[in-house]
């Protein structure tokens, strides 16, 4: 039946693509509302307007399946109604047979009672019996009329059934023929699509082989570059390690040289301190000895100038000088020569000369004096 509400939603004339999509969407909406089933394979209004082959074929098959489902539903309903009718008819025949048995039994009983009570039953009882028989006859007539009407309606129903089956099988035959035609078209399209897919896959396989060859070439080139890079890195790292080792060796040599120089400086400083200390001690001793000798010489000169005797001079000298003056060589000295150990004093009439002679050249000295003046020279 035509749905007025859906017809009112259509946009006619459908000139633009948007209007076509709207009309197709309204039609699909009516289809889903009427059948209660959703469209399969994601069929949309845009696909139908664009002429998508697979989606349109899927929609056609779904519509064919709907017609078949409707026909099946009609047959199932008819069969169910026929089965219910058969059940009702069997139940009716059972009830009818039971009613006939009851009626026969009741009629026999009534006839027996009538025959038994003819002699004694009055006219009122006969009238009541007649009324009961009349009611029973009315019931039987109604049942008979119902059965007759049922047979008439059953014949009409059978005629309608034959007509419906004829129409159904005629439409079904046409639908089957159309389905076969559509199926043949679909198989031809499927074989064509398979052929196109195979050709496309073959071409893509050839392209993939070319790409694989190019990839292998690129990979070999990359491996060569990688090996060269690794070799250069190893050389560079070895050079860096060598430079570091050379720098470490130079630094170690500088450290060793610095240590040697420090050791030499320290040893030289230690030797210098030791020699300096020894020199200071020696210098101090020399100064003490020189001062002592000079003081003795001055004392001798002062005593000689004062004209003191030689014995007094000897007594005033140190013990070592006195022992040295008592030697045999010193005892034979002339009166004018007086020795004081390592020194000698020579006197003259008008002048006096004092000469000091020592064993070491650096300690030798001479003094020359006059009665009124004195000259002396010291060396040490």
Identify which has the larger pLDDT, 156 or 365: 156
Identify which has the larger pLDDT, 164 or 261: 261
Going by their DSSP bridges, the two strands 343-347 and 365-369 should be labelled as unpaired
Report the percent of the chain where pLDDT is more than 90. 11
Average pLDDT over residues 125-139: 83
Q: What does the pLDDT look like over 195-250, one tens digit per residue?
A: 998 888 888 888 877 878 888 888 889 999 999 999 999 999 988 888 888 888 88
Q: Residue 375: is its pLDDT beyond 60? A: no
Identify which has the larger pLDDT, 314 or 346: 314
For the sheet with 374-377, list strands across it: 337-340, 343-347, 352-356, 365-369, 374-377
Confidence label for 316 from pLDDT (cuts 50, 70 and 90): low
Q: What does the pLDDT look like over 247-299, one tens digit per residue?
A: 888 888 888 888 999 999 999 999 999 999 999 999 999 999 999 988 888 88
**What number of other Cβ atoms are within 10 A of residue 355's Cβ?**
14
Average pLDDT over residues 140-165: 87
pTM of the model: 0.23
Q: Residue 366: is its pLDDT beyond 50? A: no
CA distance 348 to 356: 16
User: What is the residue whose two structure tokens read 């064509």?
Assistant: 192
């Amino acid at each position: 039946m035509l749905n007025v509400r859906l017809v009112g939603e259509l946009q006619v004339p459908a000139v633009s693509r948007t209007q076509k999509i709207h009309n197709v969407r309204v039609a699909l909406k009516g289809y889903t509302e009427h059948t209660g089933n959703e469209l399969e394979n994601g069929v949309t209004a845009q696909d139908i307007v664009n002429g998508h082959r697979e989606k349109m074929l899927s929609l056609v098959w779904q519509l064919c399946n709907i017609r078949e489902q409707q026909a099946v539903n009609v047959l199932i309903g008819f069969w169910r109604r026929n089965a219910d009718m058969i059940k009702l008819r069997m139940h009716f025949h059972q009830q009818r047979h039971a009613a006939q048995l009851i009626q026969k039994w009741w009629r026999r009983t009534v006839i027996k009672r009538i025959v038994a009570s003819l002699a004694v039953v009055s006219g009122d009882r006969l009238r009541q019996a007649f009324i009961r028989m009349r009611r029973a006859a009315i019931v039987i007539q109604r049942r008979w009329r119902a059965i007759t009407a049922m047979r008439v309606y059953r014949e009409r129903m059978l005629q309608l059934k034959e007509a419906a089956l004829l129409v159904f099988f005629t439409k079904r035959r046409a639908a089957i023929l159309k389905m076969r035609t559509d199926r043949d078209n679909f198989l031809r399209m499927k074989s064509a699509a398979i052929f196109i897919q195979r050709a496309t896959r073959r071409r893509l396989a050839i392209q993939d082989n070319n790409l694989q060859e190019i990839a292998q070439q690129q990979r070999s080139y990359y491996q060569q570059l990688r090996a060269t890079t690794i070799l250069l890195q190893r050389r560079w790292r070895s050079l860096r390690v060598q430079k570091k080792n050379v720098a470490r060796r130079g630094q170690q040599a500088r450290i060793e040289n610095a240590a040697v120089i420090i050791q030499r400086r320290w040893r030289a400083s230690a030797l210098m301190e030791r020699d300096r200390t020894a020199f200071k001690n020696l210098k101090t001793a020399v100064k003490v000895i020189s001062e002592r000798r000079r003081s003795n010489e001055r004392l001798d000169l002062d005593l000689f100038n004062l004209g003191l005797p030689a014995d007094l001079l000897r007594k005033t000298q140190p013990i070592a000088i006195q022992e040295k003056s008592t030697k045999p060589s010193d005892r034979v000295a002339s009166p004018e020569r007086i020795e004081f150990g390592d020194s000698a004093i020579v006197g003259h009439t008008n002048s006096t000369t004092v000469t000091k002679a020592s064993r070491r050249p650096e300690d030798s000295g001479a003094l020359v004096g006059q009665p009124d003046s004195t000259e002396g020279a010291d060396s040490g």
